[in-house]
Every structure is written in C-alpha cells, then in structure tokens.
Amino acid sequence: MPVLTVDLAIVGAGPTGLFAAYYAGFRGLTTAVLDALPEAGGQITAMYPEKQILDVAGFPSVKGRDLVGNLLRQAAPFKPQYLLGRQASKLEHHDGVPVLELADGERIEAQAVLITGGLGSFAPRPLPAAEEFHGAGIVYFVPELAAHAGQDVVIVGGGDSAFDWAIALHGIARSTTIVHRRDKFRAHQATVNQVKELGVPVLVNAQVTAVHGTEAVDGVTVDVKDDGIRELPADAIVAALGFTADLGPLGEWGLELDRRTIAVDSTMATNLPRVYAAGDIAAYPGKVKLIATGFGEAATAVNNAAVAIDPDAHLFPGHSSEHP
C-alpha cells in the first residue's frame, strides 16, 4: 500500500484540526488531515451546520457552515492534504517517529501526530418508535434547512439541538412541533423562551409512540400525559435525542486516557512521543470546552511539535502580522 510522508498528521477535521492545518502551514510544516466523516468540519458539519455560533472571538454570530468554510479557506494557501472518509486505525512508532495506518491499509509516516478528534466517533441515539419503520423521513441532523421547506416537521427531544432546529426551521417548514418526554429541558432557557415566543407548539410529558407511512413518513402518534393520544401530520421527524461517543481505535493506541478524553500536559503532549492532542478530546485540569479553546490549544500543540521535529526551531515563530 502507498505511504504518505508529511511533517504533521492531524487526526480530526473539525474546527480545531482545520485551524491546526493553517497554523502548521504558517510554521512551514506539511500536513495531512484525516477524518472518518466524508466532509470537513466534524460535528459542526454533521450536526448543526445551520446553527448560529456565538462564542467564537471576532464573530458576533457565525453560522456553523460558514465558520468551517472560513477555516478551510484560511488553511488553503498551505495546501494541506485532506483524507476524508478515512479512519486512522493504528498508531506505531518506528525509531521514535509516529506511523499511522488507515483502515484501508495506507500508511502515513509523520514527524508528529496531532489528535483533534472532538468526541471521537459518535452515533445518534435512535428513536424507539421508529424501530419498525423502514421508510424515509427520519433524520437525526438537519444539514440543509431548505430540504424541509413546506414540510410538517416533528422534532423529538429537549436539548439545545431540538430547540435550535425549531428556531431555524420556523418560517421554512409549514409547521414545526417539539415533542419531549419531560416537562423540563436541557436546552438553554433563553432558547426555550425564544421558541415559545415564536409560537412553536411544545408537547411535554409526551412520547412519539408510532410512526406512520409506507415509503415515507406521513404522520406520528403522540401520547401526551394528561391529554391523551394525538395524531400529528409529519413529513419529517428530527430525532434530536443526543448521541453516544466512542474513541474507537484511538482507545487502543496506548494513550493515557481520562474517561473518553486524552490526558495532555501544558504543551498539549500526550504520554506517547511526538503525539499531541487538542480540542474537546484533550483533557487537563481546569479545561473549558469551547471552539475558541481548541484554537489556542492547536497553536500550542503545533508550536511544540515544530520544536520536537526541529530542535533548532523557535517555539514561538512570531505573530502572523509580522510575516509577509
């Protein structure tokens, strides 16, 4: 199988990994960016590309899809190699240098590895009432709002994603209804208030007990406590029930783990030589999981990797504004 040789292999193409690709290029390092997902952007692309993100410095509000696009454009001048839809399955060290093996057998010989895999591999929690339904119309994410234009949409869940999608689909879908099994929500209260102000129906203490339709969803049965059975029209069901995360093959690499995260020191180094981690997957005391935090960790990891690769290099290369 072919062997790809780069200075830095970045495992994870979410925001932290994409910024690391830019910063490594800024430092003159060649990079390869791997991700098991078929598109760059990680969880943002897969789960909430249309969501407005409010806590990225310099952006009062930025749509997830636009943030990912900007990060790709920022890294583009340095020509990172993207290996998307490809899973890194094994990590070995040859003479102290990391070697990654992909699930398809291809190998990457890198002078250093940076793991930016977010929460690792993740899968949506299924909607129990849909287990016997084999038609179309049940989704777990909303990558394209326009796909639901003019539809009756039922959203199942009580977290931020459920309420964010209700807001985003309001005025696009013909109708939007939230169904939640409790009368308390995990979503931020301000978001809940906004949904209620828009007049979106929210059925609490309720469960979808049946999905109707043949080739596609055309309705659901909802059992509402103290209000009985209700039949709702539905062209689409968004099952926003959260997801389960798994480190996958990363858990077998010999990394020191802290539950489902990777322990790092102040240089973002792991217990393995020339292997670093940044973003949500990295753990240390006092960690705050924000996209903005991941950006800073990526720069710290890349700068320390650059010195590990070339001991004569400076840890801090200067500010980008000082370079042509």
> Could you tell me if residue 190 is left (phi over 0), alpha (psi between -120 and 50 degrees) or otherwise beta?
alpha
**Closest by CA position to 307, among listed 276, 285, 283, 263:** 276
Is 276 among the annotated ligand-binding positions? no
Is 35 among the annotated ligand-binding positions? yes
Is 160 among the annotated ligand-binding positions? no
Is 16 among the annotated ligand-binding positions? yes
Which residue reads 């639901």 in tokens? Answer: 148
Is 280 among the annotated ligand-binding positions? yes
d(CA 288, CA 67): 20
Is 239 among the annotated ligand-binding positions? no
Is 321 among the annotated ligand-binding positions? yes
Q: How many residues does the chain have?
A: 324
72, two tokens: 């790709």
> What sign has the CA pseudo-torsion 275, 281, 285, 289?
positive
Per-position DSSP letters for 78-119, written without gaps between them: G-PEEEET--EEEEEEETTEEEEEETTS-EEEEEEEEE--TT
58, burial (CB in 10 Å: exposed 0-12, middle 13-18, buried 19+): exposed
Is 30 among the annotated ligand-binding positions? no
Query: How far from 64 is each of 6, 12, 96, 238, CA to CA, in Å?
Result: 29, 17, 38, 19
Provide the annotated binding site for FAD.
16, 35, 43, 48, 88, 122, 280, 321
Provide the annotated binding site.
16, 35, 43, 48, 88, 122, 280, 321
